[in-house]
Amino acid sequence: MQRVKNWFTSPVRVSAKTDYAVRAAAELAASPGGPIKGERLAEAQDIPLQFLEHILLDLKHAGIVRARRGAKGGYWLAKPAEEVTIADVIRAVEGPIAHVQSAPPESIEYRGNAVQLQSVWIAVRASLRSVLESVSLAELVSDELPAHVQELADSKNAWLPADAASRAK
């Protein structure tokens, strides 16, 4: 029984790959003046260069980043920063947001006392999307987050560890 409890109470995690991808994309959004070398991006955000190069390739395949080789080469955003959301970047490197055991929550059926769990996972996905799809790279780098996102971040419970937040209710 303890194993099940830990599974349900473990926090949602943001992978290093996702964190690095969003940080690299933010650097590109803040530097619209031309190609930026991978080494410069890696140094600016303290990201291991080889890992970053794989991430940039994923972003390139998704049409978020463009690349040019050579002495004047580097990386840049393929579209205006206003048109790229954090959700776009996450999907490019990780795939769909908020899958359950590698499947979309609407495709999973639960039985018995867990029958409403599907609705919970769908609500979690909707909640994540309401934030991640509403913040563009331009907003991220300009320090002007959408009001509903800033309100969530400003909530005193948002900054508490999960166990402390549940006790504060």
Has residue 148 got a pLDDT over 70?
Answer: yes
Asked whether the beta carbons of 65 and 21 are under 8 A apart, the reply is no
Closest CA to 35 of 70, 83, 9: 70
Q: What confidence tier does 167 reach under pLDDT thresholds 50, 70, 90?
A: low
3-state secondary structure of 103: strand
The more confidently predicted of residues 73 and 63 is: 63
Burial of 95 (0-12, 13-18, 19+ CB in 10 A): exposed
Residues 126 and 64: their CA atoms lie apart, in Å, by: 23
Q: How do residues 84-138 score in pLDDT, each as one tens digit? A: 999 999 999 998 887 777 777 788 888 888 888 888 888 888 888 999 999 999 9
Q: How do residues 13-22 score in pLDDT, each as one tens digit? A: 788 999 999 9
Q: How many C-alpha atoms does 154 have within 13 Å on its Cβ side?
A: 7
Q: What confidence tier does 144 reach under pLDDT thresholds 50, 70, 90?
A: very high
Has residue 2 got a pLDDT over 60?
Answer: no
Buried b / exposed e over 75-84, threshold 16 CB at 10 Å, is bbbbeebeeb
Has residue 25 got a pLDDT over 60?
Answer: yes
Question: Which H helix or E strand runs over 55?
Answer: helix 49-61
Q: How do residues 72-86 score in pLDDT, each as one tens digit? A: 889 999 999 999 999
What domains, with CATH codes, occur in the chain?
Answer: 2-95+134-168 (1.10.10.10)
Has residue 162 got a pLDDT over 80?
Answer: no
Q: What is the pTM of this model?
A: 0.84
Q: What backbone phi and psi angles, to 5 degrees, belong to 27?
A: -60, -45
3-state secondary structure of 39: helix
